[in-house]
């Protein structure tokens, strides 16, 4: 998704109880301040009675300075009972990628970032193994080896303390688990909740370890990949993106793994891009992803 203007834009994500006139009232907020809306989309979730909206407008000519927009919108947000977030298109997010030993998702994200498909910076890659250091060195990206260390006294995992310190040191906005084969603790997720994971199956089917072997043994005709936000519930966070590919009886487990890796690359990239472009609204354990 690209903006209709070359200049920076403001992006407002709104979630509130459905009620009459919400589209008009939010559009009026922009129009009364001489704003030009370039994208607007909304959805009503009938099951929950929620109104969900993404609105984007040009900052050029807008009567309110960007550092005053949040304060200007707050009274309307209070009246409609909204939970909301404001972003600006020229703010480049800083993404930390976490890996273990597999390189296919990491390499894909690095190349997409270099090609301009993902508008972000990648200041650091972290791993519980040293396997992928050379790949990061080739692209001049800092690599941090953080081995997994448990606290025998039942406290927070030692390695997560180091990881959180590195995230703060590099001013990271988003963590992407690009085949990071470790479970994050609830304490970590409370301290840093913005984490996206790629799972090598079409959730909720075949969760946990060995999904391709499970799929092969079951004789399924499609396999998939799922990108989701990470929560305390393993592989059960809000889903951002999914896709599938057909397989046949001729495909071995190795064939399934090869096809699955191709899917994982694409699905994770789509999810990360949607997040970076502020097109994802989470409500409960679901998401609405605006085109």
pLDDT in tens, 158-173: 899 999 999 999 999 9
> Which band of pLDDT confidence, cut at 50, 70 and 90, is reported for residue 2?
very low
Q: What is the pLDDT of residue 114?
A: 97
Among 57-66, 146-155, 185-194, name the one with the lowest average pLDDT.
Answer: 146-155
pLDDT digit string (tens) for 248-280? 888 888 888 899 899 999 999 999 999 999 999
What is the percentage of the chain residues whose pLDDT exceeds 90?
78
Q: Look at residue 133 in the predicted model and tell me its pLDDT.
A: 98
Provide the residue count of the chain.
291
Catalytic, out of 41, 140, 151, 235: 235
Residues 6+ apart with CB under 8 A from 13: 53, 54, 84, 85, 86, 87, 278, 281
Q: What's residue 30's pLDDT?
A: 98
Which range has the worst mean pLDDT, 12-16, 91-95, 144-148, 217-221? 217-221
> Residue 289: beta bridge partners?
280
Residue 209 has pLDDT above 80, yes or no: no
* pLDDT computed for residue 202 by the predictor: 62
Contact 33, 76 (CB under 8 A): no
Is the model's pLDDT at 203 over the cut of 70?
A: no
Higher pLDDT, 266 or 154: 266
How high does pLDDT run on average in the chain?
Answer: 92
Q: Report pLDDT for 208.
A: 59
- What's the rounded mean pLDDT across residues 120-142? 98
**Distances from the Cα of 164 to the Cα of 32, 161, 170, 235, angstroms:** 43, 5, 10, 21
pLDDT(213) > 60? yes
Instruction: Quote the CA–CA distance of 238 and 227 in Å, as a whole number.
Output: 9
Does the active-site annotation cover 67? Answer: no
């Amino acid at each position: 998704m690209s903006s209709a203007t070359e200049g920076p834009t403001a992006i407002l994500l709104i979630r509130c109880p459905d009620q009459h006139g919400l589209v008009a009232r939010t559009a009026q907020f922009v129009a009364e301040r001489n704003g030009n809306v370039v994208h607007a989309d909304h959805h009503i979730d009938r099951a929950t009675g929620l109104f969900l909206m993404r609105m984007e407008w040009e900052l050029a000519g807008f009567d309110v300075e960007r550092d005053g927009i949040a304060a200007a919108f707050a009274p309307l947000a209070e009246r409609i009972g909204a939970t909301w977030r404001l972003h600006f298109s020229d703010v480049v997010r800083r993404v930390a990628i976490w890996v273990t030993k597999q390189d296919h998702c990491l390499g894909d994200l690095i190349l997409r970032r270099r090609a301009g498909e993902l508008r972000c910076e990648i200041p650091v890659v972290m791993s519980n193994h040293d396997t992928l250091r050379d790949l990061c060195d080739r692209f001049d990206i800092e690599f941090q080896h953080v081995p997994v260390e448990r606290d025998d006294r039942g406290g927070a995992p030692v390695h997560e303390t180091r990881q959180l310190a590195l995230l703060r040191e590099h001013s990271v906005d988003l963590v992407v688990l690009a085949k990071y084969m470790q479970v994050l603790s609830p304490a970590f997720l409370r301290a840093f909740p913005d984490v996206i994971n790629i799972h090598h199956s079409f959730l909720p089917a075949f969760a946990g370890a060995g999904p391709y072997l499970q799929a092969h043994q079951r004789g399924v005709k499609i396999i998939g990949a799922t990108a989701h936000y990470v929560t305390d519930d393993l592989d059960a966070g809000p889903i951002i993106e999914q896709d599938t590919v057909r397989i046949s009886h001729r495909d071995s487990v190795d064939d399934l793994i090869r096809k699955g890796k191709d899917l994982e690359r694409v699905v994770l990239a789509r999810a990360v891009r949607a997040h970076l472009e502020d097109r994802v609204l989470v409500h409960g354990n679901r998401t609405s992803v605006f085109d």
